[in-house]
């Protein structure tokens, strides 16, 4: 068998490991006594319009339409609805044919790397710390190397001096994720403008295209009027968007998202064909049809984000008051906190003594930090605060 795949299958996911530990503790001491901040599973209800649409569609009893194959790249009506929604929001002029519907952002990313990378050509993809650990899996399995650019350690925004030092003639793409998992940081417009200028410069220097891939499962999850998520295709011509409805509609299990290849991107028609080819080669054709029909009717809807805002404010304010150093999360539903000792895994073990389940951020490329997924009930956060206080006191 393929030894790399075997290793990947056997490698424990830290997040899953902690979640399983949580299940064990819940059985032992009761769910209300375990403060599990491990998993990024949205806990806000699916919007009513989505539930209603599922019910109405299922009542229509047109089984071939509902459950049959769509086009490999997704139903034209769904792709057009997504195009219309983005055009209304961002003043763009996308068409259905700019989109490939996928089983979520994970599939979008793996397909785009499959489309762009020829194995063994030594391609490199740069991303910024901290980053979603699966990036390494997606990039490496497509045959490229993932290159880490260290973000500014105070703000977790792009450190442009560091970024510049990471480019080589093999740089194929730069991958960003804003709002970010795990830091909650949103890249500001000035950063995107500067990034676009640097990428254009590097394209000229190396004489080939460098695509900017933007992984956006949290695009709508921002909580303050002062914070906006720039729509990257407006700033850089060779931008590719990998989107997911997993978080905005609280339906990660339905597996639905898309890849957007704008007409302006270099070699757009061939790139779109390569996306279709990679989707075909990976077996990622015809994303779940029922979810596609729902998206056609509900694109633009979002879950109740005020709930996450309330959780963010409660947790951030309390933890900083207890003396923890946290990155202020502008978006997503994660809080990134400095461990109270250099070894984040040891800190997480200590936290377990207070039934606090936190994830060490070593696999996110930023040792010494932990991630808290605050997509949990507000009551759980309230009940967990004394435990955080005791944990901080134990280090004094």
Which of 329, 315, 313, 285 is CA-nearest to residue 384?
315
Compare residues 40 and 184 and give the one whose CB is closer to ligand PLP. 40
- Which of 78, 178, 181, 214 is the binder for ligand PLP (CB under 6 A)? 181
Compare residues 151 and 181 and give the one whose CB is closer to ligand PLP. 181
Between 227 and 246, how does the x/- string for binding to ligand PLP read (CB under 6 A)? -----------------x-x
- Which of 83, 105, 213, 381 is the binder for ligand PLP (CB under 6 A)? 105
Q: 145: part of which helix (H) or strand (E)?
A: strand 145-149
Residue 130 in contact with ligand PLP, rule: CB under 6 A: no
Between 17 and 56, how does the x/- string for binding to ligand PLP read (CB under 6 A)? -----------------------x----------------
CA distance linking residue 160 with residue 146, whole number of Å = 18
Compare residues 22 and 179 and give the one whose CB is closer to ligand PLP. 179
CB 288 → ligand PLP: shortest distance, Å? Answer: 12
Cis omega (within 30 of 0) for bond into 130: yes
Residue 215 in contact with ligand PLP, rule: CB under 6 A: yes
CA distance linking residue 151 with residue 148, whole number of Å = 9
Residue 271 in contact with ligand PLP, rule: CB under 6 A: no
Residue 74 in contact with ligand PLP, rule: CB under 6 A: no
Which residue's beta carbon is nearest to the bound ligand PLP?
104
Q: Total number of residues binding ligand PLP (CB under 6 A)? A: 13
**Residue environment code for 343-353, b if the CB has 16+ CB neighbours within 10 A, otherwise e:** ebbebbebbbe
Q: 217: part of which helix (H) or strand (E)?
A: none
DSSP 331-345: BTTEEEEE-SSS-HH
CA distance linking residue 315 with residue 99, whole number of Å = 38
Please enumerate in sequence order all residues whose Cβ is within 8 A of that of 234, keeping only pairs 6 or more positions apart, or say none: 90, 92
**Contact residues for ligand PLP, defined by CB under 6 A:** 40, 104-106, 132, 177, 181, 215, 217, 244, 246, 252, 257
């Amino acid at each position: 068998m393929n030894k790399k795949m075997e290793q990947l299958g056997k490698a424990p996911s830290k997040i899953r490991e902690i979640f399983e530990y949580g299940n064990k503790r819940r059985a032992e001491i009761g769910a209300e006594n375990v403060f599990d901040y491990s998993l990024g599973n949205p806990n806000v209800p699916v919007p009513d319009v989505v539930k209603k649409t599922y019910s109405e569609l299922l009542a229509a009893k047109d089984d071939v339409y509902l459950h049959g194959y769509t086009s490999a790249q997704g139903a034209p009506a769904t792709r057009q609805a997504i195009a219309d929604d983005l055009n209304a929001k961002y003043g763009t002029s996308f068409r259905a044919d700019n989109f490939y519907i996928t089983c979520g952002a994970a599939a979008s990313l793996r397909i785009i790397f499959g489309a762009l990378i020829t194995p063994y050509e030594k391609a490199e993809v740069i991303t910024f710390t901290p980053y979603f650990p699966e990036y390494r899996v997606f990039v490496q399995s497509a045959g490229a190397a993932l290159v880490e650019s260290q973000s500014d350690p105070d703000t977790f925004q792009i450190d442009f001096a560091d970024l510049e030092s990471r480019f080589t003639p093999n740089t194929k793409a730069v991958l960003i994720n804003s709002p970010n998992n795990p830091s909650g940081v949103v890249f500001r417009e000035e950063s995107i403008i500067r990034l676009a200028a640097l990428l254009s410069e590097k394209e000229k220097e190396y004489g080939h295209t460098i695509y900017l891939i933007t992984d956006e499962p949290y695009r709508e999850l921002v909580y303050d009027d002062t914070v906006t998520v720039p729509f990257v295709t407006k700033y850089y011509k060779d931008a590719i968007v990998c989107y997911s409805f997993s978080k905005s509609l609280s339906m990660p299990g339905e597996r639905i998202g898309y890849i957007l290849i704008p007409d302006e991107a270099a070699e757009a028609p061939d790139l779109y064909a390569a996306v279709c080819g990679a989707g075909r080669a990976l077996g990622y054709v015809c994303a779940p049809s029922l979810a596609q029909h729902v998206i056609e009717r509900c694109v633009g809807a979002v879950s109740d984000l005020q709930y996450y805002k309330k959780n963010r404010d409660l947790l951030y304010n309390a933890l900083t008051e207890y003396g923890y150093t946290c990155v202020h999360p502008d978006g997503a539903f994660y809080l990134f906190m400095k461990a109270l000792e250099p070894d984040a895994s040891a800190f997480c073990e200590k936290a377990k003594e207070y039934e606090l389940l936190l994830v060490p951020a070593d696999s996110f490329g930023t040792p010494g930090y932990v991630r808290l997924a605050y997509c949990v009930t507000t009551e759980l956060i309230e009940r967990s605060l004394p435990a955080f206080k005791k944990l901080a006191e134990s280090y004094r």
